[in-house]
A and B are shown apart, each in its own frame.
Chain A
Amino acid sequence: MIGITNGAFIALIALGYTLVYGIIELINFAHGDLFMLGTFVCLSTLTLLGFSTEVGTTGTPWFALLLAMLAAMIFCGLLNVLAERIAYRPLRRAPRLAPLISAIGVSFIFVNIGLFWQGPTPRRFPDLLPQYDFMSQLFGFTTLIRFTFKDLFVLALAIPLMLGLAWVIRSTRMGKAMRAVAQDSEMAQQMGIDVNRVIAFTFLLGGVLAGAASLMYGLYNNNTVFTLGFTAGLKAFTAAVLGGIGNVNGAALGGFVLGLLSALTVTYAGGQWENVGVFSLLVIILVFKPTGLLGQETGEKA
């Protein structure tokens, strides 16, 4: 189960990469670091509300968790929009390499903000969810497979978020505008769509999902560190590529596949093989299906 749950964080972050790539063909290198800052916002909010890093004994403070998640979602959403406005929009018509380098720059800025904010050592994230394993306590199984309350918590948040995103893209006016801009931004503009607004909205969505993922990650793993964005970002980016970058369903699928695979590698081959397993799969997929699992054939645009 740890695989599926990890897959859920990865999928949420991967969606942020794929949404942005889908619409402006930019690999937003700073996205993982945005997620890292999200975990810090959660941590600070919880500390501010009086839930320190000690294990909670008085039950789960749902309201505080909700506040922390909303704070991280709003923070990450707005910060992503700000980064787009300052660092990417002015380079919209520049060669593709320029915004890419700008994204790497934003990534460095975020990492250093994180370093300045919470220091270089890993920070403990309060353990506020009940320790409850449905498998052993409800059914009496004591196998490798566990399904804890934490797993349930993460999935119960992540899956509705993904379904919500799918609905926004499929059915709302803004979602349709997003798809139109992704396919042909010049024609979208001819339809009367304000392309800049749609792109800003896409960054907002990606940031909000990263913010939500950050609370889940913190509560699940009970730690965070300023370099978290690099590892989490790399995995999520891999998931996005695995599923077919630019494809929203693909990113979600890629996240879960990647989470499961890394859990399986850790269980059966040992922790040191985790990244080997993950990236071997990536290489294999890219060799045999370069567009990713659900990738679009690129000839379609013409």
Chain B
Amino acid sequence: MPLLEVQQVHTYYGNIQALKGVSLKVEKGEIVTLIGSNGAGKTTTLRTIAGVLRPRKGTVRMGDRDLTKVPANEIVRLGVAHSPEGRRIFSRMSVKENLEMGAYARTDPPAELAKDFERVYELFPRLKERLTQRAGTLSGGEQQMLAIGRALMARPTVLLLDEPSMGLAPVLVELVFKTIQDINAQGMTVLLVEQNAHMALSIAHRGYVLQTGRIVLSDSAKNLAENEMVRKAYLGEE
């Protein structure tokens, strides 16, 4: 059974239908990427899984639970952490407090929390240097690290990453993607939404292509990267 399974999800913004029956699966230990152009519904899909948006039809299964029936603030307790588009860190709180907020739902002993703080500092040494700094004063790259670190502090079973490369210099994009691979190598399952299809397909195991609210292609990342349509539409090749 897949770890996370989205089945025939229809999500609306008011009367506008953003998702027209999206289905996808994420298996344990995978990096799965969702690519597509602006407005295709990538972020909407993640927000539906995270419970920010509620679908009109369809289910989001995590184990034996249907996340569409779980209150939004309980979803993180079922093992889904969300690093959203635009990072949305708590800019007036310190870096340390942001990480603490990530662990808000945790009830395990402080020693276990300490382990995760250490893990995040190891992944992002820059954050450790800036623990008492207000998060709003971090650079874009550091804010992205903080957003990922905050999500990891929940010790999730699935990490939802929305556009982690957005607004970052190429060298930082490399670093962030390398880190995602490292996190995955340590056993984290990742569902990655990206505009930068090239980078996303280079680290993912499998991928889905989303077009105007529908999945139009799904294959291994390698096959997608070689697919004619994908190359033309999303990898900018002629």
A residues with CB within 8 A of B: 173, 176-177, 179-180, 183-184, 186-195, 296, 300-301
Contacts and interface: CB of A to CB of B under 8 A. Distances in A.
B136 interface: yes
B167 to A, nearest CB: 12
B100 A176 contact: yes
B223 interface: no
Nearest to B100: A176
B72 interface: yes
A179 B92 CA distance: 8
A192 B91 contact: no
Interface of B: 50-52, 71-77, 81-82, 84, 88, 90-93, 97, 100-102, 104-105, 136, 150, 154
A180 B91 contact: no
The winner among B75, B88, B105 for most chain A CB atoms within 10 A is B88
Contact of B72 (A176, A180, A189, A301): A189
Contact of A193 (B81, B92, B104): B104
B116 to A, nearest CB: 14
Contacts of A192: 73-74, 76-77, 104-105, 154
B52 A179 contact: no
A179 B135 CA distance: 13
A176 B104 CA distance: 10
B82 A300 contact: no
B91 A301 contact: yes
A95 to B, nearest CB: 14
A191 B83 CA distance: 10
Contact of A296 (B74, B92, B97, B150): B92
A194 B93 CA distance: 19
B91 A176 contact: no
A177 B84 CA distance: 19
B92 A190 contact: no
B219 to A, nearest CB: 30
A33 B37 CA distance: 53
Given A190-B72, A194-B73, A300 B91 contact: yes
Contacts of B51: 190
Nearest to B90: A183
B52 A186 contact: yes
Contacts of A180: 90, 93, 101, 104
Contacts of A186: 52, 88
Contacts of A187: 84, 88, 90
A197 B20 CA distance: 34
Contacts of B82: 190
Nearest to B77: A192
Contacts of B104: 173, 176-177, 180, 191-193
Nearest to B80: A190
A177 B102 CA distance: 11
Given A179-B93, A183-B91, A191 B52 contact: no
B97 A190 contact: no
Contact of A190 (B50, B100, B136): B50
B88 A184 contact: yes
A189 B72 CA distance: 7
Contact of A191 (B71, B105, B136): B105
B52 to A, nearest CB: 6
A173 B110 CA distance: 14
A186 B47 CA distance: 11
Contacts of A191: 73, 76, 101-102, 104-105, 150, 154
A194 B71 CA distance: 9
B97 A193 contact: no
A1 B100 CA distance: 43
